[in-house]
Amino acid sequence: MLMKVVVALGGNALQAEGVPAAAETQLKVVRDTAVYLVDMIEKGNEIIIAHGNGPQVGRIVIQNEYAAQVTPAMPFDVCGAMSQGMIGYHIQQALRDELVKRGIKKPVATIVTQVVVDKNDKGFQNPTKPIGPFYKEEEAKKIIKEKGYAMVEDAGRGYRRVVASPKPEKIVEIETIRRLVESGQVVITVGGGGIPVIEKDDNTLEGVAAVIDKDFASEKLAEDLDVEVLMILTAVDRVAINFGKPNQKDLSTMTVEEAQRYIEEKQFAPGSMLPKVQAAVKFVKSKPGRKSIIASLGKAKEALVGKSGTIIK
């Protein structure tokens, strides 16, 4: 059965580990990613693409800080917009080229997307969203002392800066996105979770220093567009419990009730698998018949037909 799918791309779809974080290397990785995305399109599925921006926006902030003596640093929300445009440009170029290569006539468009958050969201009091590169413990301590950043250990991979991560409440450009999707275009949107903005009393918008988790933004997008499937792509083939332990168990399916029990048992790492499972559960609960899939990028096509990944139902 052909489906309308919101595809949330993880960091491995945008940047390879162990190579310089340059624009050229990012584009190369994105071109590989485009192959898997067009595989799904070629089967007749309609996909809407969302993506993260943690490493990219972190590097943009660093570039701004180091150049502050030469030109004024941009606010954090502007850095988020810059990362959204940069990543969107790479994805839409790579997708367009892959579609042309296969003889598929389908326009691709990136929408610079604002997402409304609550200015009183508790996320502003407790920063949890990792951004930027990984640091060794000694480097992290130095950065904390020099810049006053909040830094946390991230799933055994090193230390990263964390910023506020409020929940998405409304996608500002949703009608534009919907019309493009209905016209048959491949839309890249809510990049990096969207540019976080608050609604002021006079109904104007104001950017805030935060990063919305791309999994929650993707879930909101999937609800608003009333798609059948939310697909969250990551670096592992399936969700696992007892991850990294001798009794690790990979899950091909997971009910909402099972997922909630595993969350209570703290089976999933915050800032890593936890928001993916939480977003997947929220989407499934939002309307009967909806399905979430958490899978690896390389097996996205197989996961869509139940041959890989973890299906949440």
State whether 151 and 219 are in the same domain: no
Q: What is the mean pLDDT of residues 182-193?
A: 96
* Res 69: pLDDT: 87
Tokens representing 270? 């915050």
* Res 127: pLDDT: 86
Beta bridge partners of residue 135, listed in sequence order:
159
Angle, vertex CA 295, rays to CA 23 and CA 80, nearest 5:
35
* Res 149: pLDDT: 83
- Residue whose pair of structure tokens reads 């969700």 in the numeric block: 239
163 or 179, which is more confident: 179
The residues carrying an active-site annotation are: 11-12, 129, 214, 276
Q: What is the mean pLDDT of residues 159-174?
A: 92
State whether 80 and 181 are in the same domain: yes
State whether 144 and 290 are in the same domain: no
CATH of the domain at 17: 3.40.1160.10
Domain boundary among the residues 163, 190, 224 is at: 163
Question: Does residue 1 form part of some domain?
Answer: no
* Res 24: pLDDT: 87
Question: Does residue 177 form part of some domain?
Answer: yes
Question: Does residue 59 form part of some domain?
Answer: yes
Q: Which of 87-96, 97-106, 153-162 has the lowest mean pLDDT?
A: 153-162
Q: What is the mean pLDDT of residues 91-111?
A: 97
Q: Which of 79-83, 128-132, 275-279, 300-304 has the lowest mean pLDDT?
A: 128-132
DSSP 239-271: EEESTTSTT-EEESEE-HHHHHHHHHTT-S-TT
State whether 248 and 139 are in the same domain: no
Question: Does residue 121 form part of some domain?
Answer: no
- Percentage, residues of the chain above pLDDT 70: 100
Question: Does residue 33 form part of some domain?
Answer: yes
State whether 132 and 102 are in the same domain: no
DSSP 170-231: EETTHHHHHHHHHTT-EEE-SGGG-EEEEE-TTS-EEE-S----HHHHHHHHHHHHT-SEEE
* Res 151: pLDDT: 87
State whether 177 and 277 are in the same domain: yes
Distance CA 207, CA 177 (A): 20
Question: Does residue 15 form part of some domain?
Answer: yes
Bridge-based pairing state of the strands 150-153 and 129-135: unpaired
| Range of the structural domain that residue 154 is part of | 128-163
Q: How many domains does the chain have?
A: 2
pLDDT band per the 50, 70, 90 thresholds, residue 1? low
In the predicted structure, residue 106 carries a pLDDT above the cut 80:
yes
Question: Does residue 102 form part of some domain?
Answer: yes
State whether 159 and 174 are in the same domain: no
State whether 151 and 181 are in the same domain: no
pLDDT band per the 50, 70, 90 thresholds, residue 54? confident
* Res 160: pLDDT: 85
State whether 136 and 275 are in the same domain: no
Q: Average pLDDT of the chain?
A: 92
State whether 155 and 96 are in the same domain: no
Question: Does residue 122 form part of some domain?
Answer: no
In the predicted structure, residue 94 carries a pLDDT above the cut 80:
yes
State whether 286 and 304 are in the same domain: yes
pTM of the model: 0.90
- Percentage, residues of the chain above pLDDT 90: 72
State whether 75 and 156 are in the same domain: no
